[in-house]
Amino acid sequence: MKAPLRETSTDYRNPYRPAAVAALNGVGRWLARVGIDGPRLEPDALIGAARRGTGLHELGDPAFREPLDRLVESIEAEAELHTLGRLITRSRLVGTLSNRLRAEAEIHSEPGVSEQRVDDPIVIAGLQRTGTTLLHRLLAADPGLRTLASWEAINPARLPRRPWHRRDPRIAKARLAEHSLRYLAPDSFAVHPVEAGAPEEDVLLLDYAFLSTSAEAILQLPTFAAWLEQQDQTPAYAYMKRLLQLLRWQRPADRWVLKSPHHLEWLDTLLAVFPRARIIQTHRDPVRTLASFCSMVAHIRGLFSDRVDPDQIGKQWSRKTARLLDRAMATRDRVGAETFIDVSYYDLVADPLAQIEHIYQQLDRPLPAATREAMRQALGRNRQHKHGRHVYRLADFGLTGAAVEPSLARYRDRFGVRHE
């Protein structure tokens, strides 16, 4: 008899805390009560720490500085970080800047990087929870296609390889990050698995310009989120292209496969930077996907803060979901149908390989028997509920289907997306 599947918590206002983390946060609260606050985040200090840690100075295009300033200001004013959340956030920001420093150094030392052709990616750009991870991992099984591994996203530039390193030291760092996340938030793997060797979303490469939406997903940052929507994303996509060239130079392949819901909001910019891209848009009941994504945001925010407000998350991401879909439809109207391939989540789940055949036909790409078999094996490795069952309800976020449906109806009608 099989043991029942572990189900994710829906008590979002009371995030899971390992005993050691609860104790650390308790010490931080006590120190704050007696007037001893933790160190504030400050952009110049973060940059200085990254430069000292790497021994490097050149950070590339200075366009990153205003977004960094805005992000840090919003974190300090709005994120309500607990002690560990502050330590993790500082480490992430210094790490991001350190990676920029290392990437710039490697790019400048290797002339072949700038010659790498990356203007024709296959881009999976569906809403969250629409089968994008399944599709991404199937395409990753094609040896001629290149996906971003989690260990590369965390460290795009190479690290020094010592004689005792049997493989790329970036892999060990990513495994440590994976194990740390499993310890701090075990439910998160049932929501969205982050595995060191698996394909990862390239929104993490946009983080290096401090212009991605990942910050507002993991932290409460309403001021930064509103500012970000008004910005030109060209510096972020241009820097992502630079990093994709570096990564392709390190590990060559015919063509990149990218994947992130972020792209739906900025398809015009993506196509300006990658003019030969083909976009695969996955489709599923947006009311259903909204509930699932709100749950994911709530679980991740609990890593950083003791104050997780499900109603705020529901309000923010219901509006954001409608914005993503509306902007994507506007771009499709301007660009034309030939750039896009539409895939139904329901068809993908029912017969994944049939949808792969459809995609490859649209791409005019051969699908050899060996590649088909590799994809079958990938299906076995990526079975649903491998890490537990993700439980979520729209009502937990102060939302109802009737309330959000009007803003999503035009999308649903255009693509014939059924109600679940």
Q: What is the DSSP letter of 142?
A: S
Rounded to the nearest integer, the mean pLDDT of the chain is: 94
Q: b/e string for 218-237 if b means 16 or more Cβ within 10 A? A: bbbbeebbebbeeeebbbbb
pLDDT 10s digits, 102-158: 999 999 999 999 999 999 999 999 998 899 999 999 999 999 999 999 999 999 999
Can you give the C-alpha Rg of the chain in angstroms? 21
Q: What is the largest CA-CA distance in the chain?
A: 68
pLDDT 10s digits, 293-310: 999 999 999 999 999 999
CATH 3.40.50.300 fits domain 19-160+167-415: yes
Q: What's the full length of the chain, in residues?
A: 420
pLDDT 10s digits, 34-61: 887 777 899 999 999 999 999 999 999 9
Model pLDDT, residue 1: 45
Domain borders along the chain are 19-160+167-415
Global pTM reads 0.94
Model pLDDT, residue 187: 86
Closest CA to 306 of 40, 42, 84: 84
- Residue numbers in the chain where pLDDT is lower than 70: 1-4, 382-387
Model pLDDT, residue 354: 97
Model pLDDT, residue 33: 87
